[in-house]
Amino acid sequence: MITSSIVKLLLLIPLLFSGADALSMDYYMMSCPFMEQIISNTVNQALNRNPGLAAGLLRLHFHDCFVQGCDGSVLIDSTNDNMAEKDSPANLSLQGYEVIDRMKELIEDQCPGVVSCADIVALAAREAVFWAGGPYYDIPRGRKDGRRSRIEDTINLPAPTLNSTELINMFGKHGFTAQELVALSGGHTLGVARCASFKHRLSNFDEANDVDPVMDSSFAMALSRTCGDGDDVRVAFDRTRNSFDTGYFNALQRGMGVLSSDQTLFSDPRTRRVVNGYAMNEAMFFLDFEQAVTKMGLMNVKEGNQGEVRRNCRRVN
């Protein structure tokens, strides 16, 4: 009798200690029931005014999760004695910070010190994808905010010059399959890239070629003309930059991928069949994206006292 109670008690201990802080769908149900409504209203308002911010909000989530885990570290401002992630060249052109600040303020008014910035970023990305016509998916909440944001950690972000092997390896180290790499890259169905990110494909490409031979030649000519105006000129990843659709995969099939890291997914037979599948079947892309982005949202999540709930997303408490 006694031993069996002790055994039961021992079995319960890990549950007791992890239970309270673990991520869950209804994490804020009692403590901040309107947070989800505030996030969806604020995102919708912001995107109705500026549709291009949908891309910004999704990219913020990606950059947050790939550096130090999904812990809001991408939001922290630099200080006199710390250069933060957002000041890395890899971060250039990140946008959507003001929308996050706005949601945080509204949520703090209702339930101070309860909802983490990391959860706001993850849920804002979810709303942005849906606003743009993509899938709606439910994600666990309860991420805590990190206290570290250092420029040197952005080395963990993939460069647009990586080839398929390098991308598969890098995403593989984070636990993603090649198929998930393609699904996540589908995030580039939204938004734009600056010429600085792909101009290396347009001149003196290698010893044998002036432009990247896998790029459609009239597309290459059009891009060269566009980029004549400078590194900061922006080019859409596909024909429908504000719609979450299969346009990105169709572009890859036509040799009209903008980044080298995009087009390489079509060049490599290991990922080409996935690209072709998604180009043909939107429902399949949506389903795989949902699963992959949910998984991304759980990367190195901090729970309990591994983190905090920042009062201002731009600085640690």
Ligand X SMILES: *[C@@H]1O[C@H](CO)[C@@H](O)[C@H](O)[C@H]1NC(C)=O
The contact set with ligand X (CB under 6 A) reads: 86-87, 89, 91-92, 94, 163-166
Residue 71 assigned ligand-binding role: yes
DSSP bridge partners of 312? 315
User: Which DSSP string do the residues of 65-103 spell out, in sequence order?
Assistant: HHTTSSSSGGGPPPBTTB--GGGSGGGTT---HHHHHHH
Give which of ligand HEM, ligand X, none residue 158 binds (C-beta under 5 to 8 Å, depending on kind). Answer: ligand HEM
Residue 99 assigned ligand-binding role: no
**Torsional sign, CA 222, 225, 226, 230:** positive
Work out how close the CB of 93 gets to ligand HEM at its nearest, in angstroms, rounded to a whole number: 3
Q: Is 300 in the site for ligand HEM (CB under 6 A)?
A: no
Cα–Cα distance between 109 and 101 in angstroms, integer?
12
Residue 69 assigned ligand-binding role: yes
Residue 188 assigned ligand-binding role: yes
Q: Pairing state of beta strands 192-194 and 234-236?
A: antiparallel
Of 104, 143, 144, 188, which lies in the binding site for ligand HEM, with binding defined by CB under 6 A? 188
Q: Is 167 in the site for ligand HEM (CB under 6 A)?
A: yes
Give the binding-site size for ligand HEM (rule: CB under 6 A): 26
Where does the chain show beta strands of DSSP type E? 192-194, 234-236
In the complex with ligand HEM, which residue's Cβ is closer, 83 or 170? 170
Contacts of 270 (CB under 8 A, 6+ apart): 164, 168, 178
Residue 135 assigned ligand-binding role: no
Q: Is 263 in the site for ligand HEM (CB under 6 A)?
A: no
Q: How many CA atoms lie within 13 A of 17 on its CB side?
A: 6
In the complex with ligand HEM, which residue's Cβ is closer, 194 or 315? 194
Tokens of residue 206, six digits? 């290698």
Cα–Cα distance between 74 and 84 in angstroms, integer?
8
Of 35, 43, 55, 67, which lies in the binding site for ligand HEM, with binding defined by CB under 6 A? 55
The answer to whether 200 is a known catalytic residue is no
Contacts of 38 (CB under 8 A, 6+ apart): 103, 106, 107, 110
Give which of ligand HEM, ligand X, none residue 87 binds (C-beta under 5 to 8 Å, depending on kind). Answer: ligand X
Residue 177 assigned ligand-binding role: no
In the complex with ligand HEM, which residue's Cβ is closer, 53 or 115? 53
Give the footprint of ligand HEM on residues 62-91 (CB under 6 A).
62
Q: Is 59 in the site for ligand HEM (CB under 6 A)?
A: yes
Cα–Cα distance between 149 and 154 in angstroms, integer?
9
Q: Is 259 in the site for ligand HEM (CB under 6 A)?
A: yes
In the complex with ligand X, which residue's Cβ is closer, 23 or 178? 178
Judge whether 242 and 190 are in contact, CB under 8 Å: yes
* Rounded alpha-carbon distances, angstroms, from residue 63 to 91, 179, 192: 8, 20, 16
Give which of ligand X, ligand HEM, none residue 86 binds (C-beta under 5 to 8 Å, depending on kind). Answer: ligand X
DSSP bridge partners of 315? 312
In the complex with ligand HEM, which residue's Cβ is closer, 96 or 146? 96
Judge whether 265 and 182 are in contact, CB under 8 Å: yes
The one catalytic residue in 61, 63, 174, 200 is 63
In the complex with ligand HEM, which residue's Cβ is closer, 24 or 169? 169
Binding site for ligand HEM (CB under 6 A): 55-56, 58-59, 62, 92-93, 95, 158-160, 162, 167, 184-185, 187-188, 190-194, 197, 259, 261, 293
Binding residues for heme b: 188
Question: Where in the sequence numbering do the catalytic residues fall?
Answer: 63
